[in-house]
Structure 1
Amino acid sequence: MSDQTVVDTENAITEEQVTKYLRKHPDFFVKQPGLLADLRLPHESGQAISLVERQVSILRERNMDMRHRLSKLLDNARDNDRLFDKTKRLVLALLEGKTLTDTIDSLFYSFDNEFKIHYTTLILFGDRAALSAGKARVEPLSKARESIAQVLKNSRPQCGTLSAEETRYLFPDFADSVGSVALVPLIHGNTFGVLAIANRDPGYYRSSMGTLFLSYIGEVLNRQLPQYLPR
């Protein structure tokens, strides 16, 4: 009897085998209606429910999950549409600028009023006496290299937190309020400036986030601003 028990245990069908079989034969219970009627599954309420009822419940949950996913996709699509519209208006305004001040004013207006960016800084490298740039700051490149040398070494957009010295240089009036920063050096042959935006939330601009928008605006400025700068 003991030997027979060992044999039966060794040859017992596992749950995994049953699962594989049922997946390969989804019509199994169609051919076994009596067995299907006898199956009962525990329910959260404590009452037993039939397999069919359980299947209906699972399908209902999946349907709700799919609706939530679809709703999220639609929300993202609407957000992208709004972002595209605002970006289009900004780019057209930058292209229509007749002077350096016009172009810079359009940039700050859009960032402040449409994109609701907390802090914006545009720094152009050059001689303050020879360049009037409206809301943009004009600083010697040598001074910038003293404070944001690492920033200027990378020509690509950057996101995240900066050192205290870098933050003070970029946002001198708001350094204590800046949590995170996104920036892009402006380059036309040589580096002629830097565009930086900041948020009070330290996690708002993260190193892992996309920089397509900022990169795109930077490319437009790279083509528009140099025509107004002293050669």
Structure 2
Amino acid sequence: MQPEQADLSQVLTDDDVLRFLSRNPEFFVNNQDILPRLRIPHETGSAVSLIERQVSVLRGKCGTLENSLRDLIGVARENESLHQRLHVLIQEIISARNLNKIVDLTRASLQQNFNADDVHLLLFCTEPKKPAVRKRTSAVSAAKSATKAAPRVRTQKPIEGTQIVPHDDSALELFSELFANAETICGLPSEEQLSSLVGQDHSDVASAALIPLQHERPLGVIILTSRDESRFASGKGVMFLNHLGQLLSRRLATYGTILPVTVA
């Protein structure tokens, strides 16, 4: 409390308030917002006045509405801040030059902005293209072609927190419902799904969010895990996660060939 406030409370008396109200009879008309906070007894003996009861109920509702409004304002500010951070992330993902950078940006942002303890990705290799049918060549041309060095097959280096599996891997069946719904699912995944995404050591996962990545075909799955069972409980809002999943799906679809990981 500031010194001037302490002095004022000591000097101001009931008579001072009465004189002020007498000189300003329109005070409560001009300041009606203070009325619900005042306690004005209505003498009715041992019975409770209906008016007093109504005022008490209205005061309680007013307090509840004020708290709700305060909470809504807080959520709106948090969502606005999150929207701005995701906007920056989207710009960085669009301009990322390689798959490693895309994954690193995504994992770091999800851990920071959604309070995830860990983030894992499961990506499906790009389906190999069918070889083009070539016309029959002469024996001389075939001999020249045979002497050329065979092209070196590129492979994708390992990426932290990411698995890259064949495009027809059995994991597709595990997440068929996720791809069918085409939206983020919160809750606790099955043992098989957790093992596929996180590995065998997943006993500390209490809740998770699964984000499908697909554009014309399944591209992969992102999982956000938490040791808090309420963090990604079923029924949580997933609007921002859905938007991010859709953006990532488009980026991966236009990225190019996703190759298998190099095995050391």
Q: TM-score, normalised by structure 1?
A: 0.69
RCO greater where, 1 or 2, for CA within 8 Å and sep 6 or more? 2
Q: What is aligned with 2:239? A: 212
Distance change in 2, residues 1:94/1:74 (3 Å): same
1:139 aligned onto 2:138: no
Structure 1 segment 41-60 matched on structure 2, within 5 A: 47-60=46-59
1:164 aligned onto 2:191: yes
Q: What are the ranges of 5 or more consecutive residues in structure 2 without an aligned counterpart? A: 1-41, 127-153, 259-264
Q: Partners in 1 of 2:214 and 2:73 — Cα distance?
A: 37
Residue 171 of structure 1 and its aligned partner are, at CA, apart by 0.9
Residue 93 of structure 1 and its aligned partner are, at CA, apart by 1.8
SS in 1 for 2:97: coil
Question: Aligned residue pairs: how many?
Answer: 189
**Counterpart contact for 1:182–1:196, Cα < 8 Å:** yes
Q: Partners in 1 of 2:197 and 2:155 — Cα distance?
A: 21
Q: What are the ranges of 5 or more consecutive residues in structure 1 without an aligned counterpart? A: 1-37, 42-46
Distance change in 2, residues 1:228/1:131 (3 Å): farther
Q: What is aligned with 1:155? A: 182
Q: Partners in 1 of 2:81 and 2:201 — Cα distance?
A: 28
Q: Partners in 1 of 2:180 and 2:103 — Cα distance?
A: 24
Q: Partners in 1 of 2:171 and 2:112 — Cα distance?
A: 28
1:121 aligned onto 2:120: yes
SS in 1 for 2:56: helix
Q: Partners in 2 of 1:200 and 1:194 — Cα distance?
A: 20
Distance change in 2, residues 1:153/1:80 (3 Å): closer
Structure 1 segment 1-231 matched on structure 2, within 5 A: 40=44, 47-126=46-125, 130-132=155-157, 134-135=159-160, 136-141=162-167, 142-145=169-172, 147-172=174-199, 174-230=201-257
Residue 107 of structure 1 and its aligned partner are, at CA, apart by 0.8
Q: Partners in 2 of 1:54 and 1:152 — Cα distance?
A: 56
**Counterpart contact for 2:82–2:113, Cα < 8 Å:** no
Distance change in 2, residues 1:173/1:79 (3 Å): farther
Q: Partners in 2 of 1:55 and 1:157 — Cα distance?
A: 46
Q: TM-score, normalised by structure 2?
A: 0.61
Give the aligned residue type for 1:169. S
Residue 170 of structure 1 and its aligned partner are, at CA, apart by 0.9
SS in 2 for 1:72: helix
Give the aligned residue type for 1:122. L
- Percent identical residues: 28
Distance change in 2, residues 1:71/1:194 (3 Å): same
Residue 221 of structure 1 and its aligned partner are, at CA, apart by 0.6
Give the aligned residue type for 1:130. T
1:27-77 CA distance string (max 9 Å, x none)? xxxxxxxxxxx9948xxxxx5444443343333223222211221221221
Give the aligned residue type for 1:76. V
Q: What is aligned with 1:33? A: none
SS in 1 for 2:199: coil
Q: Partners in 2 of 1:115 and 1:173 — Cα distance?
A: 24
- 200-209 or 77-86, which deviates more: 200-209
Give the aligned residue type for 1:63. C
Q: Partners in 1 of 2:220 and 2:158 — Cα distance?
A: 12
- Structure in which a larger fraction of residues adopt helix: 1
Give the aligned residue type for 2:98. T
- Structure in which a larger fraction of residues adopt strand: 1
**Counterpart contact for 2:219–2:252, Cα < 8 Å:** no
SS in 2 for 1:130: coil
Q: Partners in 1 of 2:92 and 2:257 — Cα distance?
A: 22
Residue 92 of structure 1 and its aligned partner are, at CA, apart by 2.0
